[in-house]
Structure 1
Amino acid sequence: MKFLKTSRVCLVTRGRYAGKKVVIIQPVDNGNKTHPYGHALVAGIERYPSKITRRMSKTRQEKRSKVKPFIKVINYNHLMPTRYTLELEGLKGVVSSDTFKEVSQREDAKKSVKKVLEERYTSGKNRWFFTPLSTLPSRVWKSWGSEANTCHRVLIGFSPQSAGAGRMGSGAVNSIHLGIKIHGSLS
Structure 2
Amino acid sequence: MKFLKVGRVAIITRGRYAGKKCELGEGLKTNSETEVLTEELQVVIIQPQDNGNKSHPYPHALVAGIERYPSQITRRMSKAKQTKRSKVKPFIKVINYNHLMPTRYTLELEGLKSVITAETFKEVSQREEAKKTIKKTLEERYTSGKNRWFFTPLRF
Q: How much has 1:19 moved relative to structure 2? A: 1.0
Q: Which of 104, 121, 129 in structure 2 is aligned with 1:83?
A: 104
Is 1:93 aligned to 2:106, yes or no?
Answer: no
- Whether 1:103 and 2:147 are equivalent positions in the alignment is no
Q: Could you tell me which amino acid in structure 2 is paired with residue 2 of structure 1? A: K
Q: 1:51: how far off?
A: 0.6
Q: Counterpart of 1:116?
A: 137
Gaps of 5+ in 2: 24-44
Q: TM-score, normalised by structure 1?
A: 0.71
Which runs of structure 2 are paired with 1:1-187 in the superposition (5 Å)? 1-23=1-23, 24-135=45-156
Q: Tell me the secondary structure at the aligned position of residue 140 of structure 2.
A: helix
Task: For residues 139-183 of structure 1, give each alpha carbon's deviation from its aligned partner in whole angstroms, at most 9, with x where no partner exists.
Answer: xxxxxxxxxxxxxxxxxxxxxxxxxxxxxxxxxxxxxxxxxxxxx
Identity %, equivalent residues: 81
Once the two structures are TM-superposed, the CA of residue 134 in structure 1 deviates from its matched residue by 2.1
Q: Distance in 1 between matches of 2:104 and 2:75?
A: 31
Runs of 4+ in 1 over 2 A off after TM superposition: none
Q: Deviations for 1:107-147, whole angstroms, at most 9, x for unmatched residues?
A: 00000000000001111011111100023xxxxxxxxxxxx
SS in 2 for 1:32: coil
**Structure of greater Rg:** 1
CA distance in 2, matches of 1:128, 1:29: 28
Amino acid at match of 2:126: Q
Q: Which amino acid aligns with 2:22?
A: V
Instruction: Please give the root-mean-square deviation of Cα atoms over the aligned residues, in Å.
Output: 0.6
Paired AA for residue 68 in structure 2:
R
TM-score (norm 2): 0.85
**Equivalent residue for 1:183?**
none
Deviations 1:55-97 (Å, cap 9, x if unpaired)? 1111111011000000000000000111110011110000011
Distance of 1:33 and 1:101 partners within structure 2:
15
Any idea what SS the aligned residue of 1:115 has? helix
Alignment partners' CA distance in 2, 1:88 and 1:35: 26
Mark the runs of 5 or more structure 1 residues left unpaired by the alignment. 136-187
The total of aligned residue pairs comes to 135
| Letter aligned with residue 129 of structure 1 | F
